[in-house]
Amino acid sequence: MKLLSITLLLGSALSLAGTASAATAQENWDLHCAKCHAADGSGSTKTGQKLKLKDYSKAELQSAFTDDQALAAIRDGVKNEAGKMTMNPYAEKLTVEEMQALVPFVRSLKK
C-alpha cells in the first residue's frame, strides 16, 4: 500500500513537471504568432494583412533580417514608423530558450 501511494505521488509529480516544461517552438508559434504571421508564416491572416506583414515563406524576405534581429523582435517587439507597437514583446511570456528556438523555426518557414 505504501509503495502504491509513493508510485502515485511520483506519477503526479512527473506529470506536473511535464506541464511546467517549455513548449516547443511549433506550439509557441501556433499559440502566440500564427494569429498574425499565419501558420505558414505568409502573414495571410486578417490581422496580418492589416499590419502588412511580410511573407516569411519567401527566401528574399528572410534574408532581410539576421537571426539576432529576429530574436530582438521576438524579445522586445516591433514598432512601426509611427512608433506604435505592432508586434508585442514576448520577453515576459516566453523563456529565453523558447525565444531562441523560435528563430530557427521562423527560418524553417522559408520554402
Binding residues for ligand HEC (CB under 6 A): 28, 32-33, 35-37, 47, 51, 53-54, 65, 69-70, 73-74, 78, 86-87, 90, 102, 106
Nearer of residues 15 and 80 to ligand HEC, judged by Cβ: 80
| Count of all residues that appear for the chain in the document | 111
In this complex, which beta carbon is closest to ligand HEC, that of residue 6 or of residue 35?
Answer: 35
How near is the Cβ of 5 to ligand HEC at its closest, in Å?
Answer: 41
29-66: string of b/e by CB count within 10 Å (b at 16+)? beebbbebbbeebbbebeebeebebbbbbeeeebeeee
102, containing H or E segment: helix 96-107
Shortest CB 110 distance to ligand HEC, Å: 12
